[in-house]
Structure 1
Amino acid sequence: MDRPPGLSVRLKLTLSYAGFVMLAGTLLLVAVLVFYLYYLPAGWINASGNFWIDRRLLLRSFAPFMAAVLVFLMVFGLVGGWFLAGRMLAPLTRITAAARLAANGSLSHRIRLAGAADEFRELADTFDTMLARLQAHVAENQRFAANASHELRTPLAITRTMLEVARTDPPDDLIERLHTVNTRAIDLTEALLLLSRADQRAFTPEPVDLSLLAEEATETLLPFAEKLGITLDTAGEPTPTTGSHALLLQLTTNLVHNAIVHNRPGGTAWTTTRRHPDSVTLTVENTGETLGPAIVATLVEPFRRGSERIRTDHSGVGLGLAIADSITRAHAGALTLTARPGGGLRVSVRLPAR
């Protein structure tokens, strides 16, 4: 943004300090002069008692002295104010330099301003925190872009290979295979669009009951669960909140679908809702393999299914928990993953109550 040139903050502070010193000195000299002119007799005898001094003579003698003192105060205020302003603004210079580096794309540096807490150090600490979050966000976006490119390239590469083979020896099920690969690519694209929509919070808040969404998601996925031999159990109480009905339904469906897919044969998936004084919770947990804390901590990252989790034909595109986490954050909530002691995963979503 182009701005007209102006005085620096240091020069402004210097002039302010000097002006204040001169004003204080002028008031002091005027007070002394008024005292001599109005609170002493019309004339007084000097120390030897030989002659009288008139007020006009006093004024003529005092004026040069007052001018000299004011010149001294002005020089003193300018020089002292310049060094004092420079010392006071030194932290701001470091913050400005860090901001310039950040504007040029460098997010790895930190100010780390030492000393006791004051306004400048609070600003520096806040700036360091912002840089750390930006660096983490950029790194996350870079990983997401790389993973998304890889996931999108896979079905395209498979399609190209199948078409090249079909030129010489077309298989009987070519159309079915191409349909399967194309469907997976479409599902991945729609999931990416949904994730982008949740991150942008592009929705109109409305009253929503998580318990009703849990029942709807369970009924929708019941045939799929029965096909895999998974038992679904839904219980709880009304949990009114505010948000997007479509996004929260997608969140609930993703969690239940995840609990079905990553389950053991003959296992169970539980969906419960609870209401608290100022919040509501939706909890989805399942039986399954034992998960370590390191794996659980990475499951909300896009395209992360966990190294120990087997990818099947029903495992989706690896964005289920990432979308659920993004939707939760868009609704000012928190998503928590916990490994169950007996195996499986517990996912808890806490949202503000309506």
Structure 2
Amino acid sequence: MISTITPLQEAIEQQLVATNQGLPWPELPIDELCIQVLSDMTVLFRRINTPKMASQVINQCYVAISGLLDQIWSTPSLFVHFKAMEKLYFRFELSFSLYLLAGNTPPLYLQQQLSGEVERRLPAICSKLAKKEVPKSYILELQYALKSLFNPCKQPSCNYAHLSYLPQLLNALEEIAHDDRDKAWTERFIFLMIRFNFNYPGFFNRWSEELTDALELLGTVRERQLHLFRIESQLNLSYHSSDLCYNLYQEPLLEQMRLYINVIIEKLEHSPDDITLEEDTALLTRLSGDELNFLFYYFYKAKIFDYPSKREAAKAFSTFIYSKTNRRISYKTLEKFDKAALEASVNKMRRLLTSIIKAIDDDFRT
């Protein structure tokens, strides 16, 4: 089937060469070839024996047709043929959509149209969600996520599935935004994100932080457990469509949330009833606050701490590990990594870690 596109590719290339060299355009029927391509493809498609082979061939053709459409779209001298090429693209999509892969890169002009739709509709949606007291952090992550799809330097990039996913998501968000009833809009917003499998890492991180902060306000382990059980029950009643996904290569948002809840519940099951931490449980060190900050950063980076989020690890570290002045370090300070501020600690910490490695080598040298 891919061979049916070759005459069209050659015709476009010859017209480009003629234009660049200032020669008269060759009389090549590009518009007629666009019509002929699909007709020839349909005939050859009937000869394919297996679905696997059909999928492979169809997606090769999709990439080729999208590339030609991009070429015509970005070349003013060829734009006279854009309508014919666009018609070929949409007829091809209509005929073989069953075999098209969600991760294919769509034509640039469709990406630009989709980006324009997001820019046009999203600000009003976000403004209304803010009035419904949906947390600002959630709204910001929504904005970052949708805009980053069209940034070639970031992943995931806009793919074929997003052509239908994003308009559906915007429609659903608009329904919430324009609903004047008195509802628990933050919860409804979260469950809409679950239903649309909005598995953007930043959104999950903000959700887990909101949950951690809510648990901090509860006084006992039992209260925390009941709160988590309620959320777990809600999650068990939630669902997401397998056809909807922000990031094809990321675990579904619902599964991430369930795992996070289960991890916390399991930890609480092994916690004492009174979780107040006395001063004598703290570990006094000979390190300064900056040196402990340095140590925490690289220990966390090495995945030494068994906590579901960096914030929880920072809170535990802050609670148990004291500096040489017998002071705690703010967990918010530990969450950050101010490289300039920690520059003075580098040499001492390097010597300390080197001495530990040397001691290990001395004790276990074979």
TM over 0.5: no
Larger of the two Rg values belongs to structure:
1
What interval of TM-score do these two structures reach, taking the shorter chain for normalisation?
under 0.3
Please give the TM-score of this superposition, normalised by the length of structure 2: 0.23
- Structure with bigger strand share is 1
- Structure with bigger helix share is 2
Please give the TM-score of this superposition, normalised by the length of structure 1: 0.24
